[in-house]
Structure 1
Amino acid sequence: MATSDRIAIVGGGIVGLTTAYYLKQAGYTEITLFDEGTGQATQAAAGIISPWLSKRRNQRWYNLAKRGAQLYPDIVATAGLSKRAYRQNGTIVTRRDPAKLNALYELATTRLATTPMMQAIELLSAQAIEQRVPGITIPDAGIFVAGGAQIDGTAFLTELATFLEITIVQEKVTLTATGQIMDYPDFDQIILATGAWLSEILTPLGLTTNVRPQKGQLISYQTASLPTTTPVLMPEGEYDYLPTPDGVIVGASHEDDQGFDLTIDTAVISDLTTSAQNINPALVKVPVSVRVGTRAYTPDFAPFFGQVPGYKQLFVASGLGSSGLTTGPAIAQLLVAMLVNPDLNISEYTKPVSEYIY
């Protein structure tokens, strides 16, 4: 059923684009998406969608990540996205200590019983892992999760925007003191999905937030194309190793003291390349390209979303951190549900927005 409400989305990353997707699915037709584009985390990211072996104690985060992972196959099928954008090729997590590996396998077995999305799990020797991921040398055994997937942020956003036939207004947005977008007619609802730049956009409202920026760098190698069934490798003690249609991506770094600086850091790149060559020695002969982005983090490392206190037309999402590609679609789906029902109970997924914006 179509609705005439005018909706603005500020931010064209994973939350912004999947919010537009769910708005269109719900019948909204008047959608304007603003995105300046600089430093966006999703554009720089190559994400792993496999939250089920995480030992994070934050149950809200796990609920959100599990929901997000489950939403991807439907988005991909509906929008007709390519395997470059998203593919379910499985993930492998290694552990050096056999006791820790067994404990992780027990956790995986427990979660598999209630999570069909995982599909299947399997203990693999180091030799078996090397057979599944061509070119690598790995000393440790691991666990294979068949339902794990990977996503290329740039390709995903580009293909989804094409499917949605949505125009992205490439300009910086400023809010008025009443919570509208300056120089535009009033919107019925505005969704702020600006990541680490949230404090800046909230300034005209007299509000602030404890969201901080974190710099992330990753490297990519153009090598011989690997089979699309090659799983992602998450080796203990090294950076993640992601096969792509063009080669391999390795990363990403977590730099807390760089603010919004997008300058390539040669020391960090050296660390990434060393890790890459530890996993695949042949990469020493392959040229490297670099992606840089800025993630948003909260003090408790948890994402938050909901209605901005005191502004019934303003909704917000931020603090997604390094798991943003996993949690983003779930946040988007729930935000769209909140436009219809602002009193929707989302306590199983997030703390109140007032704990992060004040």
Structure 2
Amino acid sequence: MNGVRSQESEESEEESMEEGRKMRVVVVGCGIAGAAAGYELARSGVDVVLVDSRNPGRATSAGAGIICPWSSGVEDEDWYRMALAGTEFYEELRAALAADGESEFGYRRTGSLLLVDEAESTEALARVAERAEKSPLAGEVELVSARRAREMFPPLAHDGPAIHIPGGARLDGRSVREAMCRAAQRHGARFVEGTATILADGAVRGVRVDDVFFGADAVVVAAGAWAPRLLEPLGVHVRVAPQRGQIMHLRLPGVDTVNWPVVLPRSKHYLLAFDDSRVVVGATREDDTGFDHRITAAGVAEVLSEALSVAPGLADATHVETRIGFRPVGPDVKPLLGEVPQVPGLVVVNGLGASGLMIGPYVGTVAARLARGADAGIDLTPYDPLR
């Protein structure tokens, strides 16, 4: 409960204060944003404790990992600013992780194909090209024929043009999270598994994990869809709800899928390929399901129907697995990011929705800067976590 500390907690805190001459930050939640926050803090010389509850359905583990902000139909400029920053940040992150011995986490710039029809192709190309011209990472955007699109992604049956964006990339969410966690640990970060309770008395005091208390100068809450129940005892209300996503992994044995581009149909579904003859298709966007962690008949039917309508060549693929993730969806498309004024030392990063893997490492890094009192590097006014 807010402001309540046991005698054991007092002793643990006093011990940590004697031992630790440097700042300590506890990060609650080890999805992609939390892992990034922990990594940034550890690299900065902060004493970091990363707490993970291992709840089933972490969005990071289920997400597709599409990095292509230029093709998005989202018109919110504040969201796009964050999405572009997140995309560009991957270059810095990859270099940092490589220096820390983590050179492979499924990231590959394979390009993206935005499927369009003839009637909308000119307008769509102009919209994507306008964004791409301001972003060197996007590459030279062009309109390609249906035949060329099928050559690039053979299972397709699209009979219209497609917009090819060379800079589009994909990554494996689980792998990048684990790479950041390992790298953070090399820099001294500690990992604790259990249920967290944030303790505050005017300002943040620390976090109790089950029966162990960790005193802290600041706490970063990166708990995704589970954050509201963690913050409510502090009187902090974040407007985040779980949105269930079911995503399917297929395999085409013996087929080289390494360089297949990400395919973005005219719906909210997608297809992307990885190096092991695997094609990922999805995903559902199911509201009002709570934390019901089940694969459903309707979800499987929706994912397969959408995928096979665009790429019937996948009909003979082997089903490998279906993953479920609970996207933390906020009041709008923008992330919830910033300090909580009424609880000094508390930083929230949440509400990433379907953009989690694209912007997660960047917003996690920004949250880390806030926690250690550094400049955020971006105007956070539009991303108020309590809006």
Name the TM-score, length of structure 1 as normaliser. Answer: 0.91
Unaligned runs of 5+ in 2: 1-20
Whether the 8 Å contact between 2:115 and 2:163 is mirrored in structure 1 is yes
- Are 1:214 and 2:207 counterparts? no
- Are 1:125 and 2:145 counterparts? yes
Paired-residue identity, %: 30
Q: Which residue of 2 aligns with 1:173?
A: 196
What is the aligned counterpart of 1:94 among 102, 112, 115?
A: 115
Deviating more after overlay: 240-249 vs 70-79: 70-79
Describe how 1:304-315 pairs up with structure 2 within 5 A.
304-315=336-347
- Cα RMSD after superposing both structures: 2.1
What is the aligned counterpart of 2:272 among 211, 231, 242?
A: 242
What is the aligned counterpart of 2:225 among 196, 199, 205?
A: 196
The residue matched to 1:176 in structure 2 has which SS? Answer: strand
The residue matched to 2:85 in structure 1 has which SS? Answer: helix
Shift of 1:112: 2.2
Shift of 1:107: 1.6
Whether the 8 Å contact between 2:335 and 2:350 is mirrored in structure 1 is yes
Whether the 8 Å contact between 1:64 and 1:349 is mirrored in structure 2 is no
Residues in 1 aligned to 2:268 and 2:198: alpha-carbon distance in whole angstroms: 42
Q: Which residue of 1 aligns with 2:213?
A: 184
Name the TM-score, length of structure 2 as normaliser. Answer: 0.85
Shift of 1:72: 0.8
Residue type at the aligned position of 1:244: F
Residue type at the aligned position of 2:343: Y
Whether the 8 Å contact between 1:41 and 1:295 is mirrored in structure 2 is yes
Residue type at the aligned position of 1:128: R
- Are 1:36 and 2:66 counterparts? no
Whether the 8 Å contact between 1:85 and 1:159 is mirrored in structure 2 is no
- Structure 1 residues 343 and 230, CA gap change in structure 2 (3 angstroms): closer
Count residues with an aligned counterpart.
352
The residue matched to 1:134 in structure 2 has which SS? Answer: coil
- Are 1:111 and 2:128 counterparts? no
- Are 1:259 and 2:290 counterparts? yes
Q: Which residue of 2 aligns with 1:317?
A: 349
Residues in 1 aligned to 2:268 and 2:382: alpha-carbon distance in whole angstroms: 31
- Structure 1 residues 268 and 308, CA gap change in structure 2 (3 angstroms): same
Residue type at the aligned position of 2:115: T
Deviating more after overlay: 220-229 vs 112-121: 220-229
Shift of 1:283: 2.8
Shift of 1:285: 2.9
Whether the 8 Å contact between 2:34 and 2:364 is mirrored in structure 1 is yes
Shift of 1:345: 7.4
Unaligned runs of 5+ in 1: none
Residues in 2 aligned to 1:340 and 1:175: alpha-carbon distance in whole angstroms: 18
Whether the 8 Å contact between 1:231 and 1:243 is mirrored in structure 2 is yes
Whether the 8 Å contact between 2:237 and 2:386 is mirrored in structure 1 is no
Residues in 1 aligned to 2:191 and 2:121: alpha-carbon distance in whole angstroms: 46
- Structure 1 residues 172 and 217, CA gap change in structure 2 (3 angstroms): same
The residue matched to 1:33 in structure 2 has which SS? Answer: strand
- Structure 1 residues 342 and 235, CA gap change in structure 2 (3 angstroms): same
Q: Which residue of 2 aligns with 1:326?
A: 358
- Structure 1 residues 264 and 186, CA gap change in structure 2 (3 angstroms): same
Residue type at the aligned position of 1:87: R
Q: Which residue of 2 aligns with 1:335?
A: 367
- Larger Rg: 1 or 2? 2
Shift of 1:89: 0.9
Residue type at the aligned position of 2:273: P
Whether the 8 Å contact between 2:39 and 2:183 is mirrored in structure 1 is no
Q: Which residue of 2 aligns with 1:229?
A: 259
Whether the 8 Å contact between 2:337 and 2:380 is mirrored in structure 1 is no
Q: Which residue of 1 aligns with 2:33?
A: 15
Residue type at the aligned position of 1:37: R
- Structure 1 residues 248 and 84, CA gap change in structure 2 (3 angstroms): farther
Q: Which 4+ stretches in 1 moved above 6 angstroms?
A: none
Shift of 1:157: 1.4
Whether the 8 Å contact between 1:226 and 1:243 is mirrored in structure 2 is no
Query: Once the two structures are superposed, what CA deviation does each residue of 1:174-231 show, in whole Å capped at 9, x if it has no partner?
Result: 1235343123132011100011111100122123222111001100112234342211
Q: Which residue of 1 aligns with 2:76?
A: 58
What is the aligned counterpart of 2:65 among 14, 38, 47?
A: 47
The residue matched to 2:315 in structure 1 has which SS? Answer: helix
Whether the 8 Å contact between 1:89 and 1:229 is mirrored in structure 2 is yes
Shift of 1:84: 4.9
- Structure 1 residues 311 and 348, CA gap change in structure 2 (3 angstroms): closer
Residues in 1 aligned to 2:227 and 2:248: alpha-carbon distance in whole angstroms: 27
